[in-house]
Amino acid sequence: MRWPRPTRRALLGGGLAAAGLAAFGLHRVNARPPVPDGPVRLNVEARRIDAFRPGDPGRQRFGALVFRGGLQLKAGYEGFGGFSGLAFADDGRLVAISDAAEWLVARPERQGDRLVGLAEVVMAPMLAGNGVPLAATSAYDTESLTIAGGTAYVGVERVHQILKFDWARSGVAARAERVAVPDEARRLPRNRGLEAIGVAPRGSPVAGAIVAIAERSGEDETAGFIIGGRRPGRFAFGRRDGFDVTDLAFLPGGDLIVLERRYVPPFSIGMRIRHIEGRALVPGAVLDGTALIEADNGYEIDNMEGLAVRRGAAGETILTVISDNNFSMMQRTLLLEFALAS
C-alpha cells in the first residue's frame, strides 16, 4: 500500500520549508514514474547504516534479532523506489518489486557478515501475459513477492490478483500468468489487498500452497488465504496495536515470519516482526505470534514493506527488510539485515 505521509526525518527541519516539501512529497506519492522500454542498468549510491538505533550506537541485539547492518539507497533513476516486495533468487541475487510494477535485481555486497552495498543493479518493467508492461494495465499495483521452485509469485492490490512468472527460465523477461484466487480475496478492500505472500515449504501443514495475507481487512483480524495444495482454505491473522501486515516469509521448517507496519498521523511510524509456529497454519486458524522485534521513530526505519529470509554463510537465519519510499523525497529507501539470535 502507498503511504501518503512524510516520515519524522522529513519533518525535523520544521516550519514552512517542511510544509512545502510535504506538499511536494504528497504530489509525488500520487505520480507513478514513467515506464522504461526495457532493462535499465543503475549505479546505486549506498550509505551504510551501522547503528540500528542511532541513540545507542553500540547496541546490536534488538529483541530476538541481531542487527547485521543496513543501507540507505539512492539512484538517479526516476523509477528507483516504492519497493514493496523482496526475495532472494537461488543464485543469491536480491530481487525486489516496486508498486509501480518494476523489477529490481542486484547482487548484495558484504564485508564479513555486514551488508555494505549493491552491485550489478538492474531495473526492468514487469510484463503482462501479452508482453506489455504491467504498469500500463490495471494490475500495476504490485505489492508482494516470493520466489519458490524457480517461480516468482506476485500479489497485486486493487485488482486482487496473484501472478506467477517463470523466473528460473526468463528472469525479468518473464511474462505474467494468472493464479486463481478465492472469491473472498477478490472482495477485499481496494487498497488493503494481498500485501503478503509466500509458498509454504516442506514441513508445513500446508506444504506447497501459496499463503497470502491481506494488509487489513478488518479491525481485529485480517484475512489470510491458503491457495492450492492439499488443504486450501481461509485463516485469520490477529491485528494488534494498530499494526498492518506488509509481508511474510517462511523459515525452512515451516514457521512463519510476518512483517508489520504502523503509521500514526502526523509522522509516527513503527515496524514489528512476528513469529508464528508453522503447525498453527491450517484452514480456520486465527494466528497470533511472538514479536521478534519492534521499532519506532528512534530507530533507522521508514515504511518497511518487504521481507525475505535466507541462510547466512554460517547457517544462521537472516531476515532482510526493505522500505517503500512512495517515490517521495520525504522518505528513504532502506535495506536492513538481521540475524535470528537463536
Per residue in 61-115, pLDDT (tens digit) is 999 999 999 999 999 999 999 999 999 999 999 999 999 999 999 999 999 999 9
Q: What is the pLDDT of residue 306?
A: 98
Question: Do 223 and 214 meet the contact criterion of CB atoms below 8 Å apart?
Answer: yes
2 domain residue, yes or no:
no
Cα–Cα nearest to 207, from 182, 229, 234: 229
Asked if the model's pLDDT at residue 32 lies above 80, the reply is: no
Q: What is the pLDDT of residue 8?
A: 40
* Average per-residue pLDDT for the chain: 91
69: left (phi over 0), alpha (psi -120 to 50) or beta: left
Question: Do 156 and 162 meet the contact criterion of CB atoms below 8 Å apart?
Answer: yes
- Residue 144 is part of which domain span? 8-340
Q: Outline where 137-240 has alpha helix (H).
A: 167-170, 183-186
Q: What is the pLDDT of residue 7?
A: 45
Residues paired with residue 294 on neighbouring β-strands, in sequence order: 272
1 domain residue, yes or no:
no
What is the domain count for the chain? 1
Q: What's the CATH code of the domain at 136?
A: 2.115.10
Q: What is the pLDDT of residue 60?
A: 97
Asked if the model's pLDDT at residue 23 lies above 50, the reply is: no
Q: Residue 192 — pLDDT band, cuts 50, 70, 90?
A: confident
Q: What is the pLDDT of residue 36?
A: 86
Question: Do 162 and 186 meet the contact criterion of CB atoms below 8 Å apart?
Answer: no
Q: Are strands 317-323 and 304-311 parallel, antiparallel or unpaired?
A: antiparallel
When pLDDT is averaged across residues 238-255 and rounded to a whole number, the result is 96
Question: Do 245 and 259 meet the contact criterion of CB atoms below 8 Å apart?
Answer: yes
> What phi, psi does 46 have (nearest 5°)?
-120, 115
* Distance set, CA 1 to CA 82, 170, 215 (Å): 10, 28, 8
Q: Residue 2 — pLDDT band, cuts 50, 70, 90?
A: low
Q: What is the pTM (predicted TM-score) of this model?
A: 0.91
| Other Cβ atoms within 10 Å of 8 Cβ, number | 15
C-beta contacts of 101-104 below 8 A and 24+ residues apart: 101/35, 101/125, 101/126, 101/133, 101/134, 101/135, 101/139, 101/140, 101/141, 101/142, 102/36, 102/126, 102/135, 103/172, 104/80
Asked if the model's pLDDT at residue 177 lies above 80, the reply is: yes
Give the Cα separation of 32 and 141 in Å (integer).
10
Asked if the model's pLDDT at residue 264 lies above 90, the reply is: no
Which cell numbers in the block locate residue 118?
549493491
| Other Cβ atoms within 10 Å of 41 Cβ, number | 10
3 domain residue, yes or no:
no
Give the Cα separation of 86 and 247 in Å (integer).
9
